Amino acid sequence: MKKLIFIMLVFGILGCKAYALDTTLLEMRNEVFEESKKIKPLLADSKDIVLVNSMWDSCIITMTQLDAYFTILSVFNTIKNEDLTKEAINYLVLWLNQIKSTNELNIKSLNAITQKIEPDTEVHMAVLKVYYKKLNEQIVSELDKISLVEESLTVKKVEEEVKEEIKAKEKAKEKVKE
């Protein structure tokens, strides 16, 4: 018995550590936040003020979108399994797709810069491109998880319909016997 408990604890700890190594949306949000704090001082003396301002704004927008997603997710998590609807799931999917679309637009805009820019600006631009790409990869992963919830909802609905159909057939048989 003690060995079983010990083994379960070891797997639990290893499982938690493995999950902790995975980049989460919250960690990505925090990375973008840290980058925005590095970009902000450039606003005072950069020759690329329009680009720097745009990069800083994109960081703020990304953080705001993710903060809103976390709020939506917390509301979503209060819904009981039996009350879960496709509309609630679709709302999460639409919001994540909107964030992903915004990130793709940010990457496209940053890639479109052709004029000569300051080295500091170029470094932050490269970092943001990487962050937005990583964030989109994480969003795809999150969408995959949500699709599993959606599939289980569909299966559950089909099961309920089959049960109702069986009950209706049983009632019909009972009426025929009477």
| Whole-number pLDDT of residue 23 | 56
CATH of the domain at 97: 1.20.140
Q: Is residue 12 assigned to a domain? A: no
Q: Count the alpha carbons within 13 Å of 81 in the hemisphere toward its beta carbon.
A: 7
Has residue 110 got a pLDDT over 60?
A: yes
Q: Residue 100 has which token pair?
A: 């992903």
Q: Is residue 158 assigned to a domain? A: yes
pTM over 0.75: no
Tell me how many domains the chain contains. 1
| Whole-number pLDDT of residue 7 | 41
Q: Are 13 and 95 in contact (CB under 8 A)?
A: no
Q: Is residue 30 assigned to a domain? A: yes
Q: Distance (Å, rounded) from C-alpha 125 to C-alpha 41?
A: 15
Q: Is residue 142 assigned to a domain? A: yes
Has residue 124 got a pLDDT over 60?
A: yes
| Whole-number pLDDT of residue 173 | 75
pLDDT, average across residues 112-128: 95
Q: Are 86 and 153 in contact (CB under 8 A)?
A: yes
Q: Is residue 3 assigned to a domain? A: no
| Whole-number pLDDT of residue 103 | 96
Q: Are 25 and 66 in contact (CB under 8 A)?
A: yes
Query: Virtual CA dihedral for 161, 162, 163, 167, nearest 10 degrees?
Result: 100
Q: Residue 27 has which token pair?
A: 């960690």
Domain membership of residue 97 as a residue range:
24-177
**Environment class of 92 (CB within 10 Å of its CB; exposed 0-12, middle 13-18, buried 19+):** buried
Q: Is residue 107 assigned to a domain? A: yes
Percent of all residues in the chain with a pLDDT value above 90, rounded to a whole number: 56
- Alpha helical stretches, state H, the chain: 2-21, 25-39, 42-45, 49-76, 86-111, 119-177
Q: Residue 61 has which token pair?
A: 């927008």
Q: What is the pLDDT of residues 64-96, one digit of tens each?
A: 999 999 999 888 888 887 788 888 888 999 999
pLDDT, average across residues 131-155: 89
Q: What is the pLDDT of residues 3-36, one digit of tens each?
A: 434 344 334 443 333 333 345 899 999 999 999 9
| Whole-number pLDDT of residue 9 | 39
Has residue 177 got a pLDDT over 80?
A: no
The CA radius of gyration of the chain, in Å to the nearest whole number, is 24
2: confidence class by pLDDT, cuts 50, 70, 90:
very low
pLDDT, average across residues 92-115: 95
Has residue 136 got a pLDDT over 70?
A: yes
Q: Is residue 35 assigned to a domain? A: yes
Q: Is residue 82 assigned to a domain? A: yes
